[in-house]
Amino acid sequence: MKTKNELLKVEEQLCFALYSTSRLLIQNYKPLLKVLDLTYLQYLVLLVLWENDRVSIKTICEKLLLDSGTLSPLLKKLGSKGLIVKVRSPEDERSVLVALTSKGKAFESKSQQIPQQMFCQLGLKSKEVEKLKNQLRLLLNNLVSEPN
Amino acid sequence: MKTKNELLKVEEQLCFALYSTSRLLIQNYKPLLKVLDLTYLQYLVLLVLWENDRVSIKTICEKLLLDSGTLSPLLKKLGSKGLIVKVRSPEDERSVLVALTSKGKAFESKSQQIPQQMFCQLGLKSKEVEKLKNQLRLLLNNLVSEPN
DNA sequence: CACAATTAGATTGCATACAATCTAATTGTG
DNA sequence: CACAATTAGATTGTATGCAATCTAATTGTG
């Protein structure tokens, strides 16, 4: 049984482990993404679009668990880089569809190597990575489904 | 064996699992920290100080894996809130020591319940949390020790 | 059909993150 | 001991995150 004082230690806390590991891993992406002049978040949005071109901003928000306050300026930036275009949905004028330009599509093939390169830097076995991902998804599910 | 296209899916990526779970967990802290009018990062700095009062800014940076660009303004804020004071080290005038005020110390007892409350929200068993923390620490170690 | 409620995005304001640069203090070296 | 190199923090600039608010479009309801 851990005492309350032990529980208040930074090193003991799951959230800090997540927070610091997440930041560090994102930093490891930077040299790989610098070649494409992309930030990690810009890369995430492109990942969504490579999976499903012409999706609404709302869908991107849901997939990345981010809100429009974060994504609006980012999509503007991706637009100014010539990687995407925004089109108002004909069926629902409130909705804005995001589509890849040919340049945006071309970036997909340039990114093929990134997942493997990142995997090598993890220093973990495939099985371990899968296990970790599964645990994280379980936790994420618990957190999103509990609205408090 | 996964194809390259599968690997480029957001849902497949460990980093995204880390990134989104981390953000979501930090959001879960907000209602608990709002009572003390603290942000998660401010809480982290206080955790460090409750463990070891009168530490240098450099030490805080190392413990939290953050740089002075992030912590300098944050410590200024904690100072203006009356939770800490900064004193230049007598032995080394470059170094700045951070010390808790009585108010800052008093916040420790007010935070005693937070770890348990957070644990309840995770929806995981103690064993699972420990396993997850261990895996994350292993990964973190791999990432920091590989300078590329 | 009028109109309140909801919804999709954008904007604003504040709080991180982090690279790059700057200053002042200390250390290492000839 | 002079002085180059290093070190601790602070500052600046850019890019997130997210709460709160705003606008315009759509939906639900009497």
Query: Which chain B residues in 68-107 lie under 8 Å from chain A, judged by CB atoms?
Result: none
Predicted confidence at residue B147, as pLDDT, reads 45
Please give the residue that has the higher pLDDT: either B32 or A5: B32
pLDDT of A64 strictly over 70: yes
pLDDT beyond 70 at B4: no
**A148: pLDDT strictly greater than 50:** no
User: In sequence order, what DSSP letters do the residues of chain A get, joined into one string?
Assistant: ---HHHHT-GGG-HHHHHHHHHHHHHHHHHHHHHTTT--HHHHHHHHHHHHSSSEEHHHHHHHHT--HHHHHHHHHHHHHTTSEEEEE-SS-TT-EEEEE-HHHHHHHHHTTTHHHHHHHHHT--HHHHHHHHHHHHHHHHHHHH---
| Tens of pLDDT, residues A13-58 | 999 999 999 999 999 999 999 999 999 999 999 999 999 999 999 9
> Among B7, B14, B51, whose Cβ lies nearest the Cβ of A133?
B14
Averaged pLDDT for residues A62-69 = 97
Which protein residues have any CB–strand C distance under 7 A? Answer: A 19, 23-24, 26-27, 30, 56-58, 61, 68-69, 71-73, 75-76, 86, 89, 92, 94-97; B 39-42, 65-70, 73-74, 77, 92-94
What percent of chain A stands above pLDDT 90? 89
What pLDDT, on the 0 to 100 scale, is given for residue A12? 87
- Measured between beta carbons, which residues in chain B are less than 8 angstroms from residue A122? 14, 139, 142-143
